[in-house]
Amino acid sequence: MRILHVISGLDPQNGGPTSVIVGMAKSQSTAGLTVTVLATWKEQTGFPVADDLRRAGVTVIHVGQATGRQSRHPQLASTIEQAVGQADVVHIHAMWEDAQYHAARIARARGVPYLFTPHGMLDPWNMSKGKLLKHIYLAMRLRRNLDQASAIHFATEMERDAVARLGLLAPPLVEPFGVDLTEFQTLPRPGTFRAQYPSLGQKPFVLFLGRIHYGKGLELLVPAFAEANLPDAMLVIAGPDSAGYRKQVEAEVRSSGLRDRTVFTGMLSGVDRVAALAEAHLLALPSFHENFGLVVAEALAAGTPVLVSDQVYLYRELVAHAVGAAVPTQVAPLAAALKRWMNDATLRQAAARRARPFAWERFDWERLAQRWVRHYQHIANGAARKS
């Protein structure tokens, strides 16, 4: 079966959508599907990702250099038309660029079944940002594509329920995102991460790993870490700056008296990322919006307990399986939870013992790929019956 994945870009700094499409495409290729990824590009930062996919047996079609907020290119529609004509199912990732619009429009015109993975872009928090323009775009250009899709894929039941208010007609499909567990099979030698940041010494540390962007919860985490009064602990903030927000976070760090207890690492990848996750005492993601939270799954795969907000849509499973905790998006309860978890080694160790088995059971891309084979077969068979 031939699967065409369409996304607007493969830049690693895009975060979740790029990580998901890489893991999904690789594992589906290993599972026996013929997989193609079509993406636009603006900067060449996505080229190494494309090369990595090709080495894994995935065909990559790169269209660029694209321009503007919608990543437009004069050859995009014709390139998508040719690729759709060679696909049995088209899987469209994200919402707002030309690539997704043309992929759905062309697939519908050619009678090729398609589905969307919105990557959280239809949930209330995201839809409230640029609300007027998004709702106009939804009404005039996007809703028909969504309504006539064979399915809309949500990573969690909470995401599905949050998007239900839009009244979309396509049936929901709930499957979690996965993690490349081969990275976590054998963890780096203890001290690998600390060796690069001598100020950490042997001190316990709380890790935030992700884009430094408004809404990811750093505006809560920094003051909560100060309020928790953990004099022996450090705060590590790892991730790329987004829209210049790091300056605001650094200012909050200084005003909270945490300058000597905070380490900014920039973006981490490969062994460095895994080592940071494995050596952290606790991963904190008190985000205001997270349809999944890939870094949470990665932390669990590294054997590290997690502290998230109740707006991270995985939180119910994390609490139910006792691999972490969830708090409201407020400073005081976050500070209390930080203090409890950082001061209770027994609590952390018990969660850590459960974390890796939970991750292997829930987030293994290879297992998920087998389920996607069945989903795609069902979608293709449904389209065949309609025709």
pLDDT tens digit sequence for 184-206: 999 999 999 999 999 999 999 99
- How many domains is the chain partitioned into structurally? 2
pLDDT at 150: 97
Q: Which residues contact 346 (CB under 8 A, 6 or more apart)?
A: none
Low-confidence ranges of the chain (pLDDT < 50): 387
Q: How many CB atoms lie within 10 A of CB 343?
A: 14
Does one domain contain both 105 and 156? yes
Does one domain contain both 369 and 327? no
pLDDT at 384: 55
**What is the C-alpha separation between 288 and 346, in angstroms, rounded?**
29
Does one domain contain both 153 and 127? yes
Does one domain contain both 311 and 286? yes
The CA–CA distances, whole Å, from 183 to 10, 186, 347 equal 20, 7, 26
Residue % of the chain over a pLDDT of 90: 85
Does one domain contain both 224 and 117? no
Does one domain contain both 128 and 68? yes
Full residue range of the structural domain in which residue 105 is found: 2-178+364-386
Does one domain contain both 86 and 220? no
Q: How many CB atoms lie within 10 A of CB 108?
A: 17
- DSSP-derived pairing of the beta strands 89-93 and 2-7: parallel
247: CATH:
3.40.50.2000
Does one domain contain both 342 and 381? no
**What is the C-alpha separation between 281 and 306, in angstroms, rounded?**
9
Q: Which residues contact 113 (CB under 8 A, 6 or more apart)?
A: 88, 89, 90, 107, 150, 379, 380, 382, 383
- For residues 304-328, one letter each, b for 16 or more C-beta atoms within 10 angstroms of the residue's C-beta and e for the rest, the string is bbbbbbebbbbbebbeebebbbbbe
pLDDT per position as a tens digit, 303-341: 999 999 999 999 999 999 999 999 999 999 999 999 999
Instruction: Give pTM, 2 decimals.
Output: 0.90
Does one domain contain both 66 and 134? yes
Does one domain contain both 136 and 227? no
Give the CA dihedral 348, 335, 363, 18, nearest 10 degrees. -140
Does one domain contain both 218 and 207? yes
Does one domain contain both 299 and 218? yes
pLDDT at 387: 47
Rg of the Cα atoms in the chain: 21
